[in-house]
Amino acid sequence: MSEKTLTLTETLASLGLTPKQIGELEEDDERAWGWILWLREQAGITNPAGLLIAKYRTGSTAPDAQAWRGNTPGKGPDYPTLLRCAQQLVANTGHEYREEELLEELRRLEHTTQIGNGATLTEKDRSRLLREATKMRENHELGQEQRDQDDQHETLRYYADQIRQGKINRRNLKGILPRLQHILTIDQVEALRALTAEEPTV
């Protein structure tokens, strides 16, 4: 693991810990390393040094950062955990999660590790993980598209109400329709146009 190319002292210093704090964590280096590895897989941490110290001082041991390797003899990797770890790793690089990045990450894992109990990450494993990851991504994207479509409906409702309340008349609408066409669907714009057509003439 790349962290081990640095000593614990160097790693802690790179995280911004003071010499006194470093001394404290060096008293139980195994537990300190456990929390460092755990920290690496957490996303959105704004104060890693503070969190590391807080976790260490609880006196407990970090959750197994290598849980994805699986710990049941005779079984392969723990897929859900492996997938989660891979996504975290990709997310921690600051890039948007995409299949090719996950694939790259899985290839890296394959080269650097052996899945616990001797099993290796096979092509079949990678395919399965990628399928699952793709499905998760697609669901996520569909959700986002749906939310934005809901926003469009909300915009339509807003302008429809404005028209019904007489706050926007036909003349005003004529002025803003070319712009509304850019944020609503054709059907939605037509619906608004129809509403003003129904306005009673004064």
| Angle, alpha carbons 35-36-41 (nearest 5°) | 95
16: left (phi over 0), alpha (psi -120 to 50) or beta: left
Reference 45, options 82, 10, 66, 15; nearest CA is: 15
The answer to whether the beta carbons of residues 32 and 45 sit under 8 Å apart is no
For other proteins, the closer of residues 86 and 168 by Cβ is 168
For other proteins, the closer of residues 36 and 184 by Cβ is 184
| Positions in 78-97 near other proteins (CB under 8 A) | 96
45 belongs to the binding site for other proteins (CB under 8 A): no
Say how far apart CA 130 and CA 78 lie, in whole Å: 14
Q: Binding pattern to other proteins, positions 172-201, x when CB under 8 A?
A: x--xx--xxxxx------------------
Task: Tell me how far, at minimum, the Cβ of 32 lies from other proteins, in Å.
Answer: 36
Say how far apart CA 60 and CA 62 lie, in whole Å: 7
For other proteins, the closer of residues 136 and 176 by Cβ is 176
Task: Tell me how far, at minimum, the Cβ of 143 lies from other proteins, in Å.
Answer: 12
Reference 4, options 37, 31, 35, 43; nearest CA is: 37
For other proteins, the closer of residues 66 and 155 by Cβ is 155
Residue 46: phi and psi, rounded to 5, are -95, -25
Q: Binding pattern to other proteins, positions 98-117, x when CB under 8 A?
A: x-------------------
Contacts of 187 (CB under 8 A, 6+ apart): none
Q: Binding pattern to other proteins, positions 135-174, x when CB under 8 A?
A: ------x--xx--x--x---x------x----xx---x--
The site for other proteins (CB under 8 A) is made up of 96, 98, 141, 144-145, 148, 151, 155, 162, 167-168, 172, 175-176, 179-183
